[in-house]
Amino acid sequence: MENINFDEYLRESKHSETLLINQLSLARAESKQNVYKFGFGQSPFPIPEAITEKLIEAAHRKEYMNVQGDLTLRKAIAEFHNEVEGKNWKADRIIVGTGSKILIFCLMSAFKKAEVLLPSPSWVSYDPQGKLAGHPVHWVETRYEDRWRLMPDQLNHFCEQRADRNIPLILVLNYPNNPTGQSYNKEELKALAEVMRKHKVIVIADEIYSLLTYQQDYGSIADYYPEGCVVSSGISKWCGAGGWRLGFHYIPEQLGDNLLNAMIGVASETYSCAPSPIQVAATHAYQNKKLAKDFIDKQTRLLNKISQYCVEQLTKSDVLVHKTEGGFYLFPDFRQYKEKLEKSGITTGEQLTTKIMQDTGIALLPGSAFGMPFESLTARLAFVDFDGGQIFEKNLQDITYPMVEAGILALCDWLEKL
């Protein structure tokens, strides 16, 4: 029988820079060469044992739970964020899902028609999600000088030149940011909020890293523009539980019941509910505030120290890089090496990260994976190649992180030899 060919009807699948870097690092590892794993941004810290024990105890829970999420869990989430982050959340405006990622997709899919706006650089999945939901995706390029953050005048300019301003505009604002590690201070959020209000922008405030903010004087855009902000978060980062797949969205009353119900509708026709044992364990993670706060506090101090080391070394080597404000990432810009790199035939971020991997074994992701122009000589560096369990037991002054140190020094050395 002849093969049926429907390729032209398939959605385009973007070639993944992550895969390319993974293949190269596997090849190096097989030939026993060093690999520095700065490519993949996953929490290096083990989930606290008290929480994993709750999961074991709850393993027998086999029932489907409420599509919106178990009420006890939603109450625990609301209480936790109200106390720790000064929110004013009610459990009935929270929807729980199998990770915050699918909820972002549910939210985008809840709109029959919308446009999506992303500052570049932005996390890899927003753009494909917007397209899968059938929406045009627009990018606004941010600048190194602005610490890669969206400025109010850029947002205003984008909104004013839209062809049809009646179509809902969904902006995804993520802070602390993946890939840049940057956040907005309160004054900056206020100024952005004014523009958002003027243009009635729907904001997905992706706060998945907010609890891993190093200095707690950063706010949330939802403090200044509550009526238009859906807050997205979960246990993947602060609790180190990415593979547990549990996240939530907070949908403010002002955005209406229809939006919440539309999201519940998409959720019920796709994932049905988050796994019951995970919901039970996550409830304990949020209820046990002391444990959570201590865990968070220690992680942020450790991450801050390691990030500072990387920034100091890279800055000495004339790499442009901003100090991380939260999360696991740095976004070095190698533009000062442009001419030297050109002489070696390197003119794009992807060529740069490929060559760095081939020559040194350091895995980085090019800025273009995050919506930056191809010629941008930027990359994401996840400084998490260390044993989080071991480091966690030590005093801050005693910690060592040999792979991070060796990797950063190898990178500086590579640059010097250009």
Residue ranges in contact with ligand PLP by CB under 6 A: 99-101, 123, 174, 178, 206, 208, 234, 236, 242, 247
**In 10 A of CB 75, how many CB atoms?**
18
Query: In whole angstroms, how close is the CB of 30 to ligand PLP at the nearest point?
Result: 27
**Cβ nearer to ligand PLP, comparing 193 with 246:** 246
Q: Kindly tell me which of 155 and 208 has the beta carbon lying closer to ligand PLP.
A: 208
Rounded Cα distance, 257 and 263, in Å? 10
**What is the 8-class DSSP label of residue 31?**
T
**DSSP H/E element including 356:** helix 349-360
Q: Which is nearer to ligand PLP, 101 or 322 (CB)?
A: 101
Beta bridge partners of 36: 362
Least distance CB 340 / ligand PLP (angstroms): 32
What is the dihedral sign for C-alpha 105, 106, 107, 110? positive
Query: 255's torsion region: left (phi>0), alpha (psi -120 to 50) or beta?
Result: alpha
Separation of alpha carbons 407 and 361, rounded Å: 8
> Measured from the CB of residue 371, what is the shortest distance to ligand PLP in angstroms?
13
Q: How far is the CB of 101 from ligand PLP (least distance, A)?
A: 3
Nearer to ligand PLP, 39 or 234 (CB): 234
Residue of this chain nearest to ligand PLP (CB atom): 99
Nearer to ligand PLP, 233 or 368 (CB): 233
Residue 394 Cβ vs ligand PLP, minimum distance, rounded to whole Å: 27
Indicate the Cα dihedral angle 128, 129, 132, 134, nearest 10°.
-110
Nearer to ligand PLP, 231 or 319 (CB): 231
- Nearest Cα neighbor of 349 from 337, 322, 367, 331 is 367
Cα–Cα dist 17/369, whole Å:
6
Query: Residue 312 CB, nearest distance to ligand PLP (Å)?
Result: 25
